[in-house]
Amino acid sequence: AQSVTQPDIHITVSEGASLELRCNYSYGATPYLFWYVQSPGQGLQLLLKYFSGDTLVQGIKGFEAEFKRSQSSFNLRKPSVHWSDAAEYFCAVRRVNTGKLIFGQGTTLQVKP
Amino acid sequence: SAVISQKPSRDICQRGTSLTIQCQVDSQVTMMFWYRQQPGQSLTLIATANQGSEATYESGFVIDKFPISRPNLTFSTLTVSNMSPEDSSIYLCSVEDRETGGFEQYFGPGTRLTVT
């Protein structure tokens, strides 16, 4: 069965430091992968996606993610974190036939001043 | 990208009552989805709502508890019936935007439901 694992429940980084949020997926075919961010009291905002092609994808707010098929991973990165990046981050895989998204458990990012 | 609105944004309801949540999209979309996010948890799909057909429910969710309507390509409703405190969650609708040729899924702002 398809699944998504985000191994880190909570991460704290200092403002200006680099960030990497991990995501591992289990999916038989070529996955469609997404990262979403949810700020407190807000809905989900799409950060970036991977369908095919270049395995390094750029998103909004300075985020990027790298798809590694050999590791079944799609880690999210940002070179310099801002205080406004504090939020909940979700990785998701799309089931090709149904369109539904399967979400990881989420990673809470805290940013220290 | 599609712009999605939901009503109400939040509500406090008594157990045993029902609440209907509305989802409005600013463009015509084929696929709409309803998700539940329990406190401190991730999102779980309740059902897929396609216009002109019955909603498809995920395991653990039934039509009697979560009836869904999809009268046209821009609107859907989810009803949470006979509510209990365990139904306290954020309910989100989403749509898949195929205009760009991709499969981006966009979410509404959510409805925060508290059942007392």
Distance of CA A70 to the CA centre of its chain: 18
The CA distance from B8 to B44, in Å, is: 20
The CA distance from B3 to B24, in Å, is: 8
Bond preceding residue B39 cis, omega within 30 of 0? no
Cβ of A105 and B42 within 8 Å? Answer: yes
Q: Which residue of B has its CA nearest to A108?
A: B40
- What is the per-residue burial (b if ≥16 Cβ within 10 Å, else e) of B25-52? beeebebbbbbbbeeeebbebbbbbbbe
The residue among B61, B78, B62, B67 whose CA lies nearest residue B113 is B78
Residue in A42, A51, A99 nearest the CB of B31: A99
3-state DSSP helix/strand/coil % of chain A, to nearest 5: 10, 50, 40
Mean of per-residue pLDDT scores for chain B: 93
Q: Is the pLDDT of residue B103 over 90?
A: no
What pLDDT is recorded for position B100?
62
Encode pLDDT of A47-92 as tens digits.
Answer: 999 988 889 999 999 999 999 999 999 999 999 999 999 999 999 9
| Shortest Cα–Cα distance, B89 to chain A (Å) | 12
Strands A56-58 and A64-68: antiparallel
What pLDDT is recorded for position A53?
86
| Chain A contact set for B29 (CB, 8 A) | none
Encode pLDDT of B68-91 as tens digits.
Answer: 999 999 999 999 999 999 999 999
The answer to whether residues A23 and A6 touch, using CB atoms and an 8 Å cutoff, is: yes
Cβ of B105 and A104 within 8 Å? Answer: no
The residue among B102, B77, B109, B96 whose CA lies nearest residue B31 is B96
| Chain A contact set for B42 (CB, 8 A) | 90, 103-106
Number of helical (H) and strand (E) elements in chain A, helices listed first: 0, 12
Within 13 Å of residue B40, how many CA atoms lie on the same side as its CB? 2
Confidence of residue B101 (pLDDT cuts 50, 70, 90): low
What pLDDT is recorded for position A79?
97
